Structure 1
Amino acid sequence: MDCLKIEIIATLLCVAIYASSADQQNSSNFLTNYARQQNICDKIGWEPKCGKGATGKEDCQGKAIVFHALLAKRLKNVPKDTIIKFENVEINQGNGYNPATGKFTAPVDGLYSFLWTYHIPKYAVYLFGYVNGKIRARIGSIPSNWQNTSGHFIGKLKKGDQFWIESFHGTAPLIVENYTYLSGYKINGC
């Protein structure tokens, strides 16, 4: 074999080894580099916006919208058509819930889920879920011993739509604090 052939074979072998090594290095470091970049984005508060994903369909990623608030004090003789204000806010990411008004205002369009539970002694109480003044979910309890009653509503809200809990059908003699709460979160939607 002449020197030129040996040199060409050696060069091709070196290129193949280098390419293989670079592929392995990229594969092994990909997750580490991705995690590092994700951490930087989290620290500066950057989140991707909604838009067309790789599939061409709407892809919605971003900050979570979620809240959980409890009744801060016992309510007595709550008249019909009273908005219940859950003043002890434990989480309000996205700032959609206002404890002063008792209303959640959707910061963006999307599909939302709301859950409320109330704790009462032996009285009939009805607390309904409203969106923009229209009844969207109904729950009530019948007279018995102490009880918890829960309601759940899932619906599409547009930015600015409001959801709240309001007493319905007569006076609620007593609604107990700490065991009575309202939670909500955005499921999806751009």
Structure 2
Amino acid sequence: MTTVSFSNKNMTRICYMLMSVPLLVAVTANETPQQVVTRYNNYKAICDGMGFQNVRCKDPVAFQSSLTKKLQYLKNQETVIFDKVSLNEGKAYDNTSGIFTAPFDGIYSFTWTILTTAGKYFLTEIVLNGKKVVLNYIDGRGRDGNSMSTSHANIKMKKGDKVWIRTCDTTGQFAHADWCFFSGSKL
């Protein structure tokens, strides 16, 4: 006796194939719309019985934001609010609070960039529900021109979890307007 195992990906393909068969048959057999729906529901019941779960169509979640004014001398753990939003698919980023709220469970990818000027620095971290995940440190002290730093984090989130950028461990001294960005998307 031979045992065959299927991965979730293969099960998904099999179920999609089974559910598409009634549509192909309907075209050639001239079935009524009600007959096609009944046949589809029968195949769907088979897939459900095999443990296949409905696959939600991918809802796009992505945002891109930037600063419109320079930031100076922020307090420790003060939220950095990227107030200019150029993209907000899924409306999960709030530009008045600077907080991204996950609309679905999943893995989200975040990137933020900070530009400071000569002689200044700016230390930030991305936090998940208030807990530090990744740091970003940009130090322009001892330099003649501007300095820029970008950090990235992939974060597993549950629906309703919150992520934001805040200063950490010290007072942020200076961040340029129009050159600082915060973006994210659901993978």
Aligned to 2:179: 179
Aligned to 1:100: 96
SS state at 2:57 partner: coil
SS state at 2:122 partner: coil
Query: How far, CA to CA, are the matches of 2:175 and 2:130 in structure 1?
Result: 22
Q: CA deviation at 1:141?
A: 2.0
1:110 maps to which of 103, 106, 111: 106
Q: CA deviation at 1:139?
A: 1.5
Aligned to 1:160: 160
Output the amino acid matched with 2:134: A
1:121-162 superposed Cα distances (whole Å, 9 cap, x missing partner): 132321100000000011212323311101101011000000
How many percent of aligned residue pairs carry the same amino acid? 26
Q: CA deviation at 1:177?
A: 0.9
Aligned to 1:151: 151
Q: Tell me which stretches of 4 or more aligned residues in structure 1 moved more than 4 Å.
A: none
Query: How far, CA to CA, are the matches of 2:59 and 2:123 in structure 1?
Result: 34
Aligned to 1:136: 133
1:92-129 superposed Cα distances (whole Å, 9 cap, x missing partner): 01010001110000011111000000110132321100
| 1:45-124 aligned within 5 A | 56=52, 59-122=55-118, 123-124=120-121
Output the amino acid matched with 1:112: Y
Higher Cα Rg, which structure = 1
Q: CA deviation at 1:60?
A: 4.4
Q: Is the 8 A contact 2:115 2:175 kept in 1?
A: yes
Output the amino acid matched with 1:64: P
Output the amino acid matched with 1:147: S
Q: CA deviation at 1:62?
A: 2.2
Query: How far, CA to CA, are the matches of 1:81 and 1:162 in structure 2?
Result: 15
Query: How far, CA to CA, are the matches of 1:63 and 1:133 in structure 2?
Result: 26
CA RMSD of aligned residues (A): 2.3
Q: More deviation in 60-69 or 95-104?
A: 60-69
Q: Which runs of 5+ in 1 are unaligned?
A: 1-22, 27-50
Q: Which runs of 5+ in 2 are unaligned?
A: 1-23, 28-46
Q: Is the 8 A contact 2:114 2:138 kept in 1?
A: no
Output the amino acid matched with 2:127: Y
